[in-house]
Chains A and B, each alone.
Chain A
């Protein structure tokens, strides 16, 4: 399918579906202005299009559509089993955007969402209000770029800047903005905050080329990290998910060396390491839609509803990267994901 004639497909965002009640939101108008040639189709509820039956996530990612909606339910969710908490209590994530502009072959969103289209909830203010209410009860650690890549969308949405501004006014809130983007520019004029962590997911260049479609190269991500560190941002490096391949040791070692040739290790906040794992319920549709994908067709082992590499291989991969990183980072800076986290929950 990758060889399909690209002239056949509409470019992304040729059509924007807008909930009738979202029409009058300032954010809706601002987004629509950015796509003056898009066909705007009015819808009653985003689920009428996002949750249709018989959709093909992989095909839809070839010509992604934008859906603008108003979120009625809670914006905040508690940590999922397969996520690291970095030692934080009161760990939450929020999804003001559903889906991502990148197209990573191993991404769990393919199994989690029925559609490859991008939903943006234009009532971000409600997420701020909800977070402020929660902060009255206890401090909050919040991943704001969770089922999406906010920095990759920053030119269109500006959500990262708004969250950073909100965090500036709420010292008990710590936010993590996770990304594969190399788009540092929108953050350049902002004041770095102690309670904001910019977290870059990094993979070896061959994994980026092979599986992380439409994402910036490792080299470009490192350039963005370098700029962020120079400006004084707290930066987390996420080597997660590690993907097994026949040359994985050399590949990950080369990546670690490339990272710290470019990035001053003493300025890095911390790093996370985890092998690929995915909920069993998600992997089934992912495999069906991508029969030729080695990363999805790999014969993973199922354990407590999560598919992952054999435990011995998981340990070997994690340990190998941990050793490589410990040349540059201290032990307490490296957070490891292990299957036991899944089993204990």
Chain B
């Protein structure tokens, strides 16, 4: 699953259209749009709204290992960067606490990189962009990072910022914002999609069917809790070498006449030792 977080509907709209996302009408606290592969939330503006919204989404739909989070939104800048330029954030500073956060940058990307500071209010023209060694300012990134870190690994989160103004927020309109974001939608999705499809991580967890077989054997052999842990580790070792754990466990179990089951503890121990040898076979 790819999760998208945006503060405003006009920031999200180009993605909603491109992906043909449908609004989930059962949720009223926040607007959530989705299809089979994407979940998009509109959090509202500001750090608190961003944290609340993202937590809401990720609690409803907990991500799995290898899922990605994209934070997309507009920002302001002081420099000479062109309006509509897109940046991948390599450093996020939280103005209120002074803390810095660093998203991992493990993957090649087609964007320029920049540092961003998250402020809690809209910067007006009269407030000069006074942040040293910082390129951009937004109102959500640091909160999305902190909230996202509870659900994602650091290499699974990306922060993309598009310059919308130079501290002249009064000139912004929803149409203008959508128009600045639209040209980047296909490149962002293609890039994130290629990472996501490659990042399917193997899990230490057993599949449902593997768990069933392990449980059945543990019960039949009357294994203690410690022996149960041992059995699971032997199974993990076997699985790291072979792909047919279920088959191997079935072979072992099906050798027993049903009237013998469950074994008493002494017999169970003997059979457990035999199973361990089976699972250690090359």
Contact = CB atoms under 8 A, between A and B. Distances in A.
A1 B66 CA distance: 11
Q: Classify chain A's interface size.
A: 35 or more
A9 B204 contact: no
Given A10-B105, A15-B105, A246-B282, A56 B198 contact: no
B155 A48 contact: no
A191 interface: no
Given A8-B195, A48-B102, A56 B240 contact: no
Interface string B225-269: 000001001101101110000000000000000000000000000
B190 interface: no
Interface string B101-127: 110111110000101000000000000
B113 A43 contact: no
B81 interface: no
Interface stretch (B29-37, B54-62, B146-154, B168-176): B146-154
Nearest to B280: A299
Interface in A105-124: none
A59 B153 contact: yes
Given A8-B107, A9-B108, A48-B102, A299 B198 contact: no
Interface stretch (A193-201, A255-263, A290-298): A290-298
Interface residues of B, number: 39
A49 interface: yes
A292 B237 CA distance: 8
B105 A297 contact: no
- Please classify the interface of chain B as helix (H, G, I), strand (E, B), loop, or mixed, using the class held by over half of its residues: mixed
Nearest to B108: A10
A250 to B, nearest CB: 13
Contacts of B100: 43-44, 48
A245 to B, nearest CB: 8
A55 B154 contact: yes
A287 interface: yes
Interface stretch (A60-68, A84-92, A222-230): A60-68
Q: What are the 10 tightest A-B residue pairs by CB atom distance, in nearest-first order? A: A246-B282, A63-B106, A291-B204, A297-B240, A297-B237, A294-B240, A299-B233, A297-B236, A49-B102, A56-B153
Interface of A: 1, 4-5, 7-10, 14-15, 17, 39, 41-44, 48-49, 52-56, 59-60, 62-63, 65, 246, 287-288, 291-294, 296-299
9 contacts: A39-B113, A41-B91, A52-B101, A52-B149, A56-B153, A59-B106, A291-B203, A292-B239, A299-B237
